[in-house]
Structure 1
Amino acid sequence: MQCDNCTTLEPIEDQGYVYIRPGYAEVHQLFLDHGLSVQETSEGCTVAYEVLEEMLTLIKLLKDISPGIREELSFSVTGRETSLSRRKWLPLKQLEEQLKHLDVVNIIMEQQFTSFMQPIVDSRQNIVAYEFLLRPREDSAPFQPYQLFETARTTGLHSFLDRSARISAIETSALWLPRGIKRFVNFLPSSIYNPEYCLSHTFNTINRLSLDPSDFVFEVVETERVDNVNHLQSIFEVYRRNGIAVAMDDVGAGYSTLEQMVRLKPDYVKIDRSLIDRCDQNVEQQQQLAIIANTAREFGANVLAEGIERQEEFEFCRQIGIDLAQGYLFGKPAARPPMDYQNTLVV
């Protein structure tokens, strides 16, 4: 079993080849008319480029092709030494987006990022877990995580980025955390097409590092509506079969509804910060928080309040039985945890 979206990707190099399929005579002739050297392949044709500007010119030429043919074309850009078996095919629109945002695309493809940790505390403010969040490496260009994932979405790289971010979080957790400390790791359901295959990289990384699957909680993060709840349910089932807990993030905001929460029955429910902000002063927020917390407890979920910045917010959440909390009040995301777990000293 294979998944095209789970293939290893290579950065777009200064020199290489553009493979094009299917083999329309109109496309072939267009390139020849502009003096390009074209070779036929079993799938279509290929054109070599010596500098990136030549590839950009090639893509611009395709605007003269009829729209119907343009929509059917797919492209693969490889370096001179890249194995043909590792090619990833893209529609023209996604390739144009990659070339338009080449700096950000290279950050994604070269994995110029790391994982920071933000503490999660219990009702006594003891750290019991960390959430892992994507951040730039010290030696890489700066970026906003949202910008990175948005560019990944428009360029067809969101599956690659989501998988790479999960693996980065797992590897970082192995460096700093002992067994028994939970590790919350985000995932995008839209990036997982076949759960059994697409998540195998995640499970293999956990096994390779001799980590305990029960220490992990994978939380679904989605900025778009999750239309296929059955698909998300199947992802949850695969995680759980591998001994890993699951969480729903941002419950109470946007598209995260109570109905979905009850149907999916996650092990952890993370309440969105919009309901937490000054909840000690807002009756309407207090009512919503109580409904979510009580409903989650009915099917046995742990409830976590996100975005806590004031002691009063934490005290109110604790009063209504929310036992876990996360926010700047307890610590900002950092490259290392605030505890040296080997020596139990505060860093």
Structure 2
Amino acid sequence: MQCDSCSIPEPIEDEGYVYIRPVLSEVTLLLESGGLAVREHEGRCVAAYHSREDILFLMQSMKKLSVGQREELDLMITGKKVRPIREKWIPLRQFEERLKHFDVVQIITEQQFTSFMQPIVDRSGSIVAYEFLLRPREGGTYFQPYQLFETARETGLHSFLDRSARISAIETSAMWLPNGIKRFVNFLPSSIYNPDYCLTHTFQAINRLNLDPADFVFEVVETEKVDNAQHLQSIFEVYRRNGISVAMDDVGSGYSTLEQMVLLKPDYVKIDRSLIDRCDESGEKQQKLRIITETAKGFGAYVLAEGIERPEEFQFAREIGMDLAQGYLFGKPSPQPPLDYNRTRKAT
């Protein structure tokens, strides 16, 4: 079960049909001027194309329209021999972005990525969990994860990429980690329109691999402002109903405010690295960290300090009651866990 936003985008075949809606006389004239036969049917116009050059001509022609007209149009492209089971329309603007960023779109649609693991330790320094982070495949095209997700958002592929990244993390965890080790997996709230529907594939992957849902912690990536807290709360509820914990990332910076944390009451609170950096030397940071830690403890959350690079930072985090820590002091993201499994134990 999956929606169009999460499904794999179909490749453009060498021959097929371009559907455009709504019908605009200006669009019909532009296509006909390029030798494309156009017909109108049920509020849309249809033009057969015979090469990818025809598609490029169509897109160049569209640039002659006004901005308002272009914003109004949706496209659907189908192969000549295959009729779609269901219609898959995308805004003209998104299709233009897909052509503009073709190389990056190809990385997304062909899922040319893998998941690296960064260790998370408890107060004693023992590894009890890993966060899974998207990285290029070995020998594959290099990309910056931030760039990949930004392009996905511009091209309407962010739901597909977010779903694929979650599945990659789940599958990688099954390859390397024993039961009882927590697995922190990122998700974009804006990619999940209906949590009961959109998260089905996530839960199916966990069941398919015989993994324990209790080992997973899904964390909100705050690269975007969450305007609808009720929607995010509904996502949290669906995760929890399926035996999975939830976390808020980057608390104390950007959109992850103290007020939002109290409203959502996540199971884990990950404190932003900007507050952790040299916190042992800053009274102002120490005050903020104490407030966040005490507040999170007040509703029963575990507190995790991100971005720890110095022993002094880890020491202060422990002194004020933080439960977990993550950063280069304990290990960088890598394609597999450290060979020293004596440092890894099940989380309590």
Provide the TM-score with structure 1 as the length reference.
0.93
CA offset at residue 178 of structure 1? 0.9
CA distance in 2, matches of 1:297, 1:81: 60
Contact 2:121 2:129 in 1 (8 A): yes
CA offset at residue 223 of structure 1? 1.5
Contact 1:9 1:88 in 2 (8 A): no
Mapping for residues 58-207 of structure 1, pairs under 5 Å: 58-80=58-80, 83-85=83-85, 87-207=87-207
* 1:76-133 superposed Cα distances (whole Å, 9 cap, x missing partner): 2345565512653111111111110000001101111000000000011110000000
Contact 2:222 2:250 in 1 (8 A): no
Contact 1:11 1:110 in 2 (8 A): no
* 1:194-253 superposed Cα distances (whole Å, 9 cap, x missing partner): 110011111111111111100000000021211111110010000000000000000000
CA offset at residue 12 of structure 1? 4.1
Contact 1:7 1:86 in 2 (8 A): no
CA distance in 2, matches of 1:105, 1:71: 21
CA offset at residue 309 of structure 1? 0.6
CA distance in 2, matches of 1:81, 1:270: 51
Equivalent residue number for residue 252 of structure 1? 252
CA distance in 1, matches of 2:41, 2:106: 28
Equivalent residue number for residue 228 of structure 2? 228
> Does residue 309 of structure 2 align to residue 316 of structure 1?
no
Any idea what SS the aligned residue of 2:85 has? Answer: helix
Equivalent residue number for residue 289 of structure 1? 289
Amino acid at match of 2:210: S
CA distance in 2, matches of 1:306, 1:82: 49
Q: Are the structure 2 counterparts of residues 28 and 145 from structure 1 closer, same or farther at C-alpha, using a change threshold of 3 Å?
A: same
Deviates more, 1:50-59 or 1:172-181: 50-59
Contact 1:290 1:320 in 2 (8 A): yes
Equivalent residue number for residue 239 of structure 1? 239
Q: Are the structure 2 counterparts of residues 117 and 305 from structure 1 closer, same or farther at C-alpha, using a change threshold of 3 Å?
A: same
Provide the TM-score with structure 2 as the length reference.
0.92
Amino acid at match of 1:269: V
Contact 1:9 1:86 in 2 (8 A): no
Q: Are the structure 2 counterparts of residues 104 and 285 from structure 1 closer, same or farther at C-alpha, using a change threshold of 3 Å?
A: same
Deviates more, 1:298-307 or 1:83-92: 83-92
Q: Are the structure 2 counterparts of residues 43 and 134 from structure 1 closer, same or farther at C-alpha, using a change threshold of 3 Å?
A: farther
Contact 2:36 2:49 in 1 (8 A): no
Any idea what SS the aligned residue of 1:266 has? Answer: coil
Mapping for residues 29-44 of structure 1, pairs under 5 Å: 29-42=29-42, 44=44
Contact 1:8 1:86 in 2 (8 A): no
* 1:135-191 superposed Cα distances (whole Å, 9 cap, x missing partner): 011132100000000000111111110011001100111111111000000000011
Q: Are the structure 2 counterparts of residues 244 and 85 from structure 1 closer, same or farther at C-alpha, using a change threshold of 3 Å?
A: same
Work out the number of aligned pairs and report it: 343
Kindly report structure 1 stretches of 4+ aligned residues shifted beyond 6 Å.
none
CA distance in 1, matches of 2:235, 2:216: 15
Any idea what SS the aligned residue of 1:284 has? Answer: helix
Amino acid at match of 1:257: T
Amino acid at match of 1:242: N
Amino acid at match of 1:123: R
CA offset at residue 43 of structure 1? 5.4
Gaps of 5+ in 1: none
Gaps of 5+ in 2: none
Any idea what SS the aligned residue of 1:65 has? Answer: coil
* Identity level (%): 71
